[in-house]
Amino acid sequence: MSFRDLPAVHAVIESLGDLAERFPRALIADEARAAVDRARVELREGRPMPDAAAEARAMLEALERPSLRRVINATGVILHTNLGRAPMSASSSAGYSNLEYDLEAGARGKRDVHIGGLLQRLLGAPGIAVNNNAAAVYLALNELAAGGEAIVSRGELIEIGDGFRIPDIMTRAGAVLREVGATNRTGIGDYRAAVNERTRLLMIVHPSNFRMSGFTAKPSRAELAALSRDTGIPLYEDLGSGCLADLRPYGVEEPRVQESIRDGVSLVSFSGDKLLGGPQAGILAGDAAIVARLRRNPMFRALRLDKLILGELERTLRDSLLERWDRVPAIRMIAEPLESIRRRAEAMAPGIPGARVVEGRSVTGGGSTPEQTLPTVLIAIAPVAAAALERDLRKGDPPVIARIEEGRVLIDLRTVAPEEEPQLLAAIVRALR
């Protein structure tokens, strides 16, 4: 083919006439022009010329499909960061709401009230929320330590996902980092010796995404709280994963937010979409005067939650307060008994050609509980090409995200809701064909 064979843009537009009621004419023209341009490039590079009209049609139809889609998580990673961390229950946020309207007084209100009372009951301290825990850390440091020093153990200068590092956020917040101790061992004396007239904050950072063992030591929370009281310097703890429920009966060891506040920490921050099981948010709670200061900080408005997230967070906090754990999907997945998963796997496996039921492990994920796993039962599929099956599952509708180990595609029903099972089974059978 040669450049003489390139279709005219108007000819491509005419061939798309049946789409005129679905798409604006200007958009059809743009995609037709872009498709012809791509065909010209292919010819120039010596490759076969694609069908410009078919490409333009495909691009227009792709615009109708949402990019953010529901997927079935069959990986066994409960708080899968790439899949949105804690899964949400179905909800509706249509129409107007009393977001900032006091129904009792008939006047303007504050959006904090929808979660403030629940946090007070759950934690025994007032709290506010911003759009994620990184924002919460920034707000705390900016308000409490800007222009002064914040003391942190060297062993807690962590990096979490996407290059977020505690020293960097301190600098941005206007605080000066004062490192104490060694990477593996820090004592209360190190903190005490570092306190000076410029000290504004004592900080604890929970290393939620790694575990340190061996010749290690660090002061207890009670020791640091006592130093805070003696010096009048606030003690702030970034807990990261934000565990409120007691998950020890299910094999998950993680400090609970309530315990930090009871131990005398002035302020805590944690994520909403990790072990709390809610939407992405950063929650700050603790001393009433400090929380009031944070709320008055100009950055609080820039970082605050929108109505959709606030509604989801309120519901998660209410379910946590009432201990309705079956309504919090992430907690329900952690707590599901091994025998329940086994029964589900054994019921599904016979419908999958060549599938076997095997023992395995699930993980909490989401930068929490490192090296802690949960026993599970897996459906193992050993196709001719595991990578091809995984790809076909991922590209299906709905997409199914699985994992590959030792040439097998593994399906972990711990992270699959029972109501998703028919769709999952159909997707696997379809991909195997």
* 235-240/267-271 β-pairing: parallel
Average confidence score pLDDT of the chain? 91
Residue pair 299/172 in contact (Cβ under 8 Å)? The answer is: no
Mean pLDDT of 35-57: 92
**Which H/E stretch holds residue 271?**
strand 267-271
Residue pair 202/224 in contact (Cβ under 8 Å)? The answer is: yes
92 pLDDT band, cuts 50/70/90, is low
Give the contacts of 305 (CB within 8 A, at least 6 positions apart): 111, 129, 130, 131, 281, 313
Mean pLDDT of 210-231: 86
| Of 64-68, 113-117, 204-208, 417-421, minimum mean pLDDT range | 204-208
Phi, psi of 239, deg, nearest 5: -90, -15
Q: Which of 143-152, 241-250, 253-262 ranks highest by mean pLDDT?
A: 143-152
Q: What is the pLDDT of residues 398-416, one digit of tens each?
A: 999 999 999 999 999 999 9
Of the candidates 316, 365, 336, the one whose C-alpha atom is nearest the C-alpha of residue 250 is 336
Please tell me the predicted confidence (pLDDT) of residue 208: 65
| Of 152-161, 356-365, 382-391, minimum mean pLDDT range | 152-161
166-173 and 133-145 helices, crossing angle to 10°? 50
Residue entry with tokens 């509708």: 397
Name the pTM for this structure: 0.87
Mapped onto helix, strand or coil, the DSSP state of residue 385 is coil
Mean pLDDT of 119-147: 96
User: In angstroms, rounded to a whole number, what is the distance separating the alpha carbons of residues 40 and 34?
Assistant: 10
Please tell me the predicted confidence (pLDDT) of residue 182: 86
Mean pLDDT of 40-48: 90
Print burial letters for 258-294: b (CB count within 10 Å at least 16), e (below 16). bebbebbbbbbbbbbbbbbbbbbbbbbbbbeebbebb
User: In angstroms, rounded to a whole number, what is the distance separating the alpha carbons of residues 292 and 270?
Assistant: 18
Does the pLDDT of residue 433 top 90, yes or no? no
* 355-363/282-286 β-pairing: unpaired
User: In angstroms, rounded to a whole number, what is the distance separating the alpha carbons of residues 155 and 330?
Assistant: 30
Between 215 and 428, the higher pLDDT residue:
428
* 149-153/176-180 β-pairing: parallel
* 373-381/400-401 β-pairing: unpaired
217 pLDDT band, cuts 50/70/90, is confident
Residue pair 376/338 in contact (Cβ under 8 Å)? The answer is: yes
Q: Could you check whether the bond before residue 298 is cis, i.e. omega within 30 degrees of 0?
A: no
Please tell me the predicted confidence (pLDDT) of residue 276: 95
User: In angstroms, rounded to a whole number, what is the distance separating the alpha carbons of residues 295 and 128?
Assistant: 7
Residues across the chain:
433
Does the pLDDT of residue 161 top 80, yes or no? no
Mean pLDDT of 425-431: 96
209 pLDDT band, cuts 50/70/90, is low
Between 336 and 383, the higher pLDDT residue:
336
Give the contacts of 380 (CB within 8 A, at least 6 positions apart): 355, 356, 357, 358, 408, 409, 410, 411
Residue pair 409/349 in contact (Cβ under 8 Å)? The answer is: no
User: In angstroms, rounded to a whole number, what is the distance separating the alpha carbons of residues 278 and 281?
Assistant: 8
Does the pLDDT of residue 201 top 90, yes or no? yes
